[in-house]
Amino acid sequence: MIPRAPFGRTGHESRRTIFGGAALSRASEADADRALELVTRYRVNHLDTAASYGDSELRLAPWLSGNGRDRFFLATKTGERTYQGAADQIRRSLVRLGVDHLDLLQLHNLVDDAEWRTAMGPDGALRAAVEAREAGLVRFIGVTGHGTMAPAQHRRSLERFPFDSVLLPYNYPQLRDPGYAAAAEALLAICVERGVAVQTIKSITLGPWPGERPADALTWYEPLDAQGDVDLAVRWVLGRPGVFLNTASDLGLLAKELDAADRGGPRPTDNEMEALLERRGMTPLFV
């Protein structure tokens, strides 16, 4: 069974594998139903989506109707940077999800310096998130980021505001970059000290797509897809105590990730991961 762990200081015990709602961005209702069957089978109790993930919020709404809302810790994201834009988007997400409140509202991919200054300013998205929390529409507030600057910007964000969670890329090839590894370790140390939940993405990245990204690709990176390779990558991430793994944006990989997390096992050694890296030609997604 996928283990639970405290999701930071929120008081919620989340499964350490979180359903990544980006996988529903282009999904049909039948696809979403099949995904819910998997989520239910593995007792996943935390859903993470975003306003910008296509139809994802709409596809999650039936999961949350009736008694379903009580089964899940529900998180979404706003990519708006201004106060009014974020306020409007938060309310739209509530309508699309068919709920009266969110457990976690995250400022989405807040890495660019100019966008960070706007979002954190007096008329920025953070003010809208705080007001939504005060109005009972949101319980907790987090921040997410992509790219090599995400760990450093999250540290900066935590100095400005006591966010409840962060989200960043975390996988073996990316952590082989000494600069990224140092920044990530510094961030994780602060999160442990302050009780901030740490979510990880891109766990099963093989590398950037070679050449043009395939038109039918559901992940914007090339993923590992063989079960044994997925096992190693998932166990490596979950071998870090306290972190959570958000599943990839391809429903075809969901069962493999959940199965790997469910079976568990010790964290692979560096030698095992180096062998995987060499055999599959894994490279960092962000350079």
pLDDT the model gives residue 93: 98
Determine the structural domain holding residue 41 and report its residue range: 4-280
Q: Residue 14 in 3-state DSSP? A: strand
Tell me whether residue 259 is in a domain.
yes
CB distance 103 to 10 below 8 Å: yes
Q: pLDDT class for 266, splitting at 50, 70, 90?
A: very high
pLDDT of residue 175: 97
Whole-angstrom CA distances from 84 to 87, 140, 142, 162 are 5, 19, 18, 22
**Tens digits of per-residue pLDDT, 94-123?**
999 999 999 999 999 999 999 999 999 999
* CA proximity to 140, closest of 161, 123, 154: 161
Q: How many folded domains does the chain comprise?
A: 1
Kindly state the percentage of the chain with pLDDT values over 70: 100
| Cβ–Cβ under 8 Å, residues 246 and 200 | yes
Give domain status of residue 161, yes or no.
Answer: yes
Q: In sequence order, which residues have a C-beta less than 8 Å from that of residue 271 and are 6 or more positions away?
A: none
For residue 153, the model assigns a pLDDT of: 98
Does any domain span residue 185?
A: yes
Residue 285 inside a domain? The answer is no
Tell whether the model's pLDDT for residue 66 goes beyond 90: no
User: What average pLDDT does range 165-182 have in this prediction?
Assistant: 98
* pTM as predicted: 0.96
Residue 160 domain-assigned? yes
Residue 139 lies in a domain: yes
63 with 107: CB under 8 angstroms? no
Q: How far apart are CA 152 and CA 150, in angstroms?
A: 6
pLDDT value for 106: 99
DSSP string, 209-230: PSSSPPTT-SSSSEEP-SHHHH
**pLDDT range class, residue 281, cuts 50, 70, 90:** very high
Q: Give the mean pLDDT of 234-248.
A: 97
Give the integer Cα–Cα distance in Å for 257 and 238.
11
Do the domain assignments include residue 200?
yes
The answer as to whether 142 is a domain residue is: yes
User: What pLDDT score does 72 carry?
Assistant: 97
Tens-place pLDDT, residues 140-171: 999 999 999 999 999 999 999 999 999 999 99
What pLDDT is attached to residue 217?
A: 83
Rounded CA-CA distance 255/85 in Å is 36
Q: What is the per-residue pLDDT for 215?
A: 83
